[in-house]
Amino acid sequence: MAAIWYRQTGVSLVVLWVFLLSLFSAIGAVKHGDFKKCDQSGFCKRNRQYADTAKATANSWASPYKLDQPTIKLQNGKLTATILKSLEDSTELVKLPLTVSFLKSGVARIEIDEEKRQKGLIELRHGSKVRKERYNEAADWAIVGGLDLGAAKIKASDKTQTVVQFGPDYTYEAYIYHNPFRVDFMRDGKVHVKLNGKGYMNMEHWRPKIEKPIEEVKEGEVKEGETKESEAPAVEPSIDESTWWEETFGGNTDSKPRGPESVAMDIAFPGYEYVFGIPSHAGPLSLRETRGGGDEKYDEPYRMYNSDVFEYEMDSPMTLYGAIPFMQAHRKNSTVGAFWLNGAETWVDIVKSKSGSNPLSLGTSSSIDTETHWISETGVLDVFVLLGPSPKEIIKTYTDLTGTTSMPPQFAIAYHQCRWNYVTDEDVKDVDRKFDKFNIPFDVIWLDIEYTEGKKYFTWDKQTFPDPLGMQKQLDAHDRKLVAIIDPHIKNAAGYHVSDELKSKDLAVKDKSGDNIYQGWCWPGDSHWSDCFNPTTRKWFEGLFKYKSWEGSATNTFVWNDMNEPSVFNGPEVTMPKDNVHYGGWEHRDLHNINGMTFHNATYTALLNRDKVPKRPFALTRSFFAGSQRLSAMWTGDNQADWSHLATSIPMVLSLNIAGYPFSGADVGGFFGNPSSELLTRWYQAGIFYPFLRAHAHIDTRRREPYLSGEPYTGIITKALRLRYSLLPVWYTAFYESSKTGAPIVRPNYYVHPDDETGFDIDDQFYIAGSGLLTKPVTAEGETKVDVYIADNERYYDYFDYSIIAGAGEDHTLDAPLDKITLLMQGGHIIPRKDRPRRSSGLMKYDPYTLVVVLDSKGYANGTLYIDDGESYDFVDGAHIYRSFEFKDNKLTSDNLSTSGRKTKEYLKSMSKVRIERVIVVTAPSEWESRKEVSVLQDGKKTKTQLFWHKGDGKKASWAVVGNPGVFVGSSWSIDFS
């Protein structure tokens, strides 16, 4: 195809090289022309027009969708019925089967299909062989649980409506209105979510293409058979048909064999002013208005069409590399959500309006309603309504459906050193040695595309990497790992075994003919794409990762999946044509946003299966979808060495965390460009709080490993990285707990303080899981102070010197010179850490712990600590330690939270010497001044140990230290301070 493209367009290789070179050039701005705006995306434009018509003719126009009452049936938690759509130009009624599943979790799932397409009663154009149905497999990729049906009963039913009670003790209600079809979801007697309340529901039904003579219609003129808008019946309004059958963008024409088939619906949250989610976008956590009142910040809807957006811009609803179509609406005391399960290109408009103008929201506390309009190009309509009522419950129910992050190996949450590229194996070894020389910890070094022979993945460039195993052996000596990149494009080169097999086994994505392998351009030049929707491709792909097959890989080699949107340099919008064909006969348009996930899932499974005794894999992905969080970490793609990118990385990572994807981070230092020493230092100070911590840099940038910065920068960066390592017990525990509950690992203010209205849109400071640690990174040049907002009445303490920060509902200005990280501890928590500096996390395995007990105003604190071997699955068989610490009535106790299994005993034995070497009590009461000892009870034995009390000065809290209490991390014990 690329060759054809090259021949057809007459573009010379020189031009191609200019294009490729532009990818290497210095910082610039996104090329807007490469990506569609809503009015260049036919279905988005049509649906916005549809909404406009509905709005403009509100008095006379009604949604043409009506529920056929006799078809309504409710059985075993599932309501089925048929929706009838009336048409403007025919008396035929389009049948749309409806299913509403009332799930045990209290979630309601609404699915709408189209009978004709379902039954294959449509004609495809251009002799296409693709599937006739609406794409209905998104759930197979995204959903892993939570679908058990719950109890539901009909409370009332008449001609106009059916009311179903469901959820916990039947406390939720769905008011299903028949004509037009719409649903109001109620909780506690109030409407929280409304579907199709505005009447923007639109399922573009199948119709044959009718060649119409082009007629000129003068403005205001009414054609025969048409009615004026004001007299129009309840039928689908007139819309722009010009993009129904073909659509051209950037020189590529989309053949659209199934014609128009978009699905759209308005989802309103009456009384909710704030909406969050639908990552990934480079903007604030609190989503902005995209239409409406006139003072909206954006005039484009938020777009989700996974794309390689070169030099993406800040504060923008433009699409990025991954999509999670899950939104939550929040107000004081309540959070609700909608999960729009669709893998096709999707746009979301957001409008906020005063409740006074909207009778729907009467009786709610906020005076603002948020109305959203979801528009997808294809697929069945499949939306989950989540009724909360808290942020915690919303994320729990969402991750019950799509899965939680799997427990990563420990090294994966430590520091990763990457650049494009470490150029030889000697270079890698040298970097490894330099880190040691400067006493800077790191766990993983990364290889970008240049390590391969001519961008042929699963090979090594023999000139530059003659001894990959020797290199990895050196890394292994300090328990360090290697991550190598494997991209989804496969170089089209005869004799390259991967390419040969891909072709001979017929495992690649096809072009629109459905017969020919699709060809496009990516890093290797002419390439094909493995189709990981195909189970045979996935099986084959797995084989490529076997040590025997990928020579030079070792047990400490892990994988980075990039360019899996997929990025195609000469494709429309830098990706594949939508009419490409995947396994099962689906068009690429149907599943574009899921594509990246199929690839990283295959990588993860391959890593899992390469060892006889499986070890926890690590795979990083750039492209993702709902469910990606289960198996991969992600990063926010090609950012820039610019302060605005550092600042925006924080809401971006928070947005991913509250959308169920905790293992996320941004390139520390910025990918494009050369950061100043100050920016690089500040980026490390922020980056140590990303759940995924990796420094990365473009091939054109200067080297910037932390030891190169010079003093004071190297020292400050080293301190920051050591802080990350010291707090690894907190991070690891957070990952474990998140793997159980789906809870975000970094948490915005609204999540932690859901009733604090002032803090709802704060997205530049955040908490680390449930540890009580609160950070606010400096993200502006020359800044030496930060304003930290404190939501609650608890006292907070500076992590390093125990200065007291208190006062609810206000900003507190704190000094933040370059060498200072703003990290506070909220009263009421116990923070486990390891204070001995080591070269890598693996070498900290048996190091002793320090517990920092930060008492609240009532003298209480608690916390948890999870430990396992950091790499195997033995933890599933009980080889782990999970403790709860509590300080109450002057006594600190450690209790067991873990469940035992067949490997518990052996593991506890291996950890039996790991001690708590120190307990620090912050805000230690003054009565302790005279106390010189505390008593320790462990294994029925009582001992005494010394207590050292330090007086605070009013601004700083008093604190006390118990040195070496002689207690072990895997045992139950208590320390009595009374």
Positions marked catalytic: 562, 565, 638
Residue type for 937, please?
L
> In whole angstroms, how close is the CB of 693 to ligand NOJ at the nearest point?
15
Measured in degrees and rounded to the nearest 5, phi and psi for residue 815 equal -70, 135
Pick one of 311, 369, 432, 448: the residue that binds ligand NOJ (CB under 6 A).
Answer: 448
User: Is the N-terminal amide bond of 712 cis, ω within 30° of 0?
Assistant: yes
Q: What are the Cα distances from residue 224, in Å, to 211, 215, 519, 681?
A: 18, 12, 48, 71
Backbone angles phi, psi at 278, to 5 degrees: 35, 50
What is the contact mask toward ligand NOJ in residues 510 to 549, using x (rule: CB under 6 A)? Answer: ----------------------------------------
Q: For residue 978, what are the contacts with CB-CB under 8 A and spacing of at least 6? A: 889, 890, 891
Q: Specify the pairing of strand 152-157 against strand 93-102.
A: unpaired
Of the two residues 483 and 967, which places its CB atom closer to ligand NOJ in the complex? 483
User: Which residue in the set 388, 391, 637, 863 belongs to the binding site for ligand NOJ (CB under 6 A)?
Assistant: 637
Segment 683 to 742, residues that bind ligand NOJ, using CB under 6 A = 696
| Mask for 658-687, x = binds ligand NOJ (CB under 6 A) | -------------x----------------
- C-alpha span between 59 and 57 (Å, rounded): 6
Write a three-state SS string for 845-859.
CCCCEEEEEECCCCC
The C-alpha atoms of residue 81 and residue 819 are separated, in whole angstroms, by: 64
Would you count residue 622 as binding ligand NOJ (CB under 6 A)? yes
Choosing from 54, 176, 336, 449, the residue that interacts with ligand NOJ (CB under 6 A) is: 449
What are 542's two structure tokens?
Answer: 């797995």
For the bound state, the minimum distance from the C-beta of residue 384 to ligand NOJ, rounded and expressed in Å, comes to 31
| N- to C-terminal Cα separation, the chain | 78
Distance in Å, CB of 320 to ligand NOJ, minimum: 11
How far is C-alpha 601 from the chain's CA centre? 15
* Alpha-carbon dihedral 214, 220, 224, 226, rounded to 10 degrees: 100
> What gap in Å lies between CA 276 and CA 658, rounded to an integer?
8
**Amino acid (1-letter code) at residue 18:** V
In angstroms, what is the minimal distance from the CB of 372 to ligand NOJ? Answer: 30
Q: Which residues share a beta bridge with 747?
A: 767
- Least distance to ligand NOJ from the beta carbon of 459, Å? 15
CA-to-CA separations, 296 to 67, 347, 351, 961, in angstroms, rounded: 35, 17, 8, 54
CB of 622 or CB of 776, closer to ligand NOJ: 622
Q: How far is the CB of 635 from ligand NOJ (least distance, A)?
A: 8
Instruction: Tell me whether residue 425 or residue 638 sits nearer to ligand NOJ (CB atom).
Output: 638
CB neighbours (10 Å) of residue 294?
6
Instruction: State in angstroms the smallest separation of the CB of 263 from ligand NOJ.
Output: 31
- In sequence order, the 6+-apart residues with CB closer than 8 A to the CB of 154 are 74, 162, 163, 164, 165
Instruction: Name the helix (H) or strand (E) containing 716.
Output: helix 713-726
CA distance 675 to 694: 15
Is the Cβ of residue 181 or residue 672 nearer to ligand NOJ in the bound state?
672
Q: How many binding residues for ligand NOJ (CB under 6 A)?
A: 10
Chain-centroid distance of CA 964 in Å reads: 42
Nearer to ligand NOJ, 402 or 575 (CB): 575
Q: Which is nearer to ligand NOJ, 387 or 482 (CB)?
A: 482
For residue 311, state whether it binds ligand NOJ (rule: CB under 6 A): no
Among 420, 545, 736, 968, binds ligand NOJ (CB under 6 A): 420
Torsion from C-alpha of 335, 338, 343, 348, nearest 10 degrees: -90
Q: Are 508 and 619 in contact (CB under 8 A)?
A: no
* Residue 133 within binding range of ligand NOJ, rule CB under 6 A: no
96 vs 447 by CB, closer to ligand NOJ: 447
Which residue has its beta carbon closest to ligand NOJ? 420
Q: Per rule CB under 6 A, is residue 489 in the interface with ligand NOJ?
A: no
Tell the smallest beta-carbon distance from residue 35 to ligand NOJ (Å).
Answer: 16
Q: Shortest gap between Cβ of 570 and ligand NOJ (angstroms)?
A: 16
638 touches ligand NOJ by CB under 6 A: yes
Q: Which of residues 552-571 bind ligand NOJ (CB under 6 A)?
A: 562
Q: 399 in helix, strand or coil?
A: helix
Chain residues in the site for ligand NOJ (CB under 6 A) = 420, 448-449, 485, 562, 622, 637-638, 671, 696
